[in-house]
Amino acid sequence: MKYLDEFGDPELARALLDDIARTVTRPWAIMEVCGGQTHTIIRNGIDQLLPEQVQLIHGPGCPVCVTPLETIDKALAIAATPGVIFCSFGDMLRVPGSSKDLFRVKSEGGDVRVVYSPLDAVQLAKDNPDKQVVFFGIGFETTAPANAMTVKMAKEQGIPNFSLLVSHVLVPPAITALLESPNRRVQGFLAAGHVCTVMGMGEYVPLVERYHVPIVVTGFEPLDVLEGIRRVLVQLEEGRAELENAYPRAVSAEGNLPAQAVVREVFETCDRAWRGIGTIPQSGWRLSPAYADFDAERRFDVSGVVAEESSLCRSGEVLQGLIKPVQCEAFGKECTPRSPLGAPMVSSEGACAAYYQFRRLERPAVTA
């Protein structure tokens, strides 16, 4: 399709790779924040085509992966409640809670439905006035405009049996947490293009200045990712730390202003626990007081949920870029996409799933 095929052109990729090879003189570590970019990198072997001095560290930008276990457990409890239709994006259904997942709840008789858009859930609420319809509203700044508009419409249209279980996460506070970490290895960032499509680029200016780190707003096709990497490397080699936009066809400096306005009306900023990482201050959105009536956590009593992680899973270290998925002992054995121990093995944006899909046969020999 137009605007997809051109940005996967192998000859232009070769040209970018050659330019990168000429640019690099020293070892550098770059993080791609977004799990969509991780998949582009692994699927196309971009990490293996780069000069050996360039290390790509996979970031925490997988919404399914970082949704707190406690929230998953709350979703399971609500979904199992009689009279509830629980709606979710498809990739949440296999995410492991403390003892089961949404698929299990469905097989046990819960009315769990996969929807493409939160608007589909509102339609279900209209069609089933005798049921409580709950939508699992998670994601980064990219899904927030959809979820926010859906709640706004539900309020305006007076749909009393619709509510949202919301756990939104934000990219800039996560980058800040990574930069503040004593384990910091990342020297430059590829910022997630579509997050900036919504929010613009302004939030990254203080990060570039305060931490003297190059940040390049980057798209998702192979050439986009290569260009993002190339621009970060050029900055690093020249000792510069600037904010650049390598994805101008979809990102403007100010972002989508109507979307920002609705998001700010419906949501408010809050501290948020990231699964595998811990609590990051002011890194989430929850429903604002004006929309509290649509908060599923108020509508259903889920306060007694106690969450417990698998002891085998090392997804926290994967999400912080401390280990690669194949370094986890459970990878491909106890933990597979069909039977995942950790959320990164589930999602189309999870790093473990990317390695399982494209790299599991290349796993290096493990010394006993």
Minimum Å gap between C-beta 179 and other proteins is: 22
Smallest Cα–Cα separation from 274: which of 66, 7, 26?
A: 66
Contact with other proteins (CB under 8 A) among 2, 109, 366, 367:
2
| Sign, CA torsion 126/128/130/134 | negative
CB 175 within 8 A of CB 203: no
Stretch that binds other proteins, among 7-15, 70-78, 95-103, 307-315 (CB under 8 A): 7-15
Minimum Å gap between C-beta 49 and other proteins is: 5
Contact with other proteins (CB under 8 A) among 34, 41, 319, 328:
34
Token couple for 157: 């249209």
Name the residue nearer to other proteins (CB basis): 75 or 330. Answer: 75
22 contacts other proteins (rule: CB under 8 A):
yes
Give the number of other Cβ atoms within 10 Å of residue 304's Cβ: 7
DSSP letters for 212-264? T--EEEE-SSHHHHHHHHHHHHHHHHHT---EEES-TTT--SS--HHHHHHHH
Q: How far is CA 175 from CA 150, 170, 244, 248, 321, in A?
A: 28, 9, 16, 21, 12
Minimum Å gap between C-beta 123 and other proteins is: 11
Minimum Å gap between C-beta 58 and other proteins is: 15
25 contacts other proteins (rule: CB under 8 A):
no
Q: Which of residues 185-244 bind other proteins (CB under 8 A)?
A: 194, 197-198, 220, 223, 227, 230
Contact with other proteins (CB under 8 A) among 81, 310, 348, 357:
348
26 contacts other proteins (rule: CB under 8 A):
no
157 contacts other proteins (rule: CB under 8 A):
yes
80 contacts other proteins (rule: CB under 8 A):
no
* Cα(161)–Cα(127) distance, integer angstroms: 11
Q: Which of residues 88-127 bind other proteins (CB under 8 A)?
A: 89-92, 116-120
Name the residue nearer to other proteins (CB basis): 14 or 210. Answer: 14
Q: Is 116 exposed, middle or buried (0-12, 13-18, 19+ CB in 10 A)?
A: exposed
Minimum Å gap between C-beta 277 and other proteins is: 17
Smallest Cα–Cα separation from 84: which of 105, 64, 103, 104?
A: 105
Token couple for 37: 């970019």
What is the residue type of 39? H
Q: Which of residues 261-280 bind other proteins (CB under 8 A)?
A: 262
Q: Which residues of 137-169 are buried (b: 16+ CB within 10 A; e: fewer)?
A: bbbbbbbbbbbbbbbbebbeeebebbbbbbbbb
Would you tell me which residues interact with other proteins (CB under 8 A)? 1-4, 6-7, 9, 11-12, 14-22, 34-36, 45, 47-52, 61-64, 89-92, 116-120, 138-140, 142-143, 145-146, 149, 153, 157, 194, 197-198, 220, 223, 227, 230, 246, 248-252, 256, 258-259, 262, 348-349
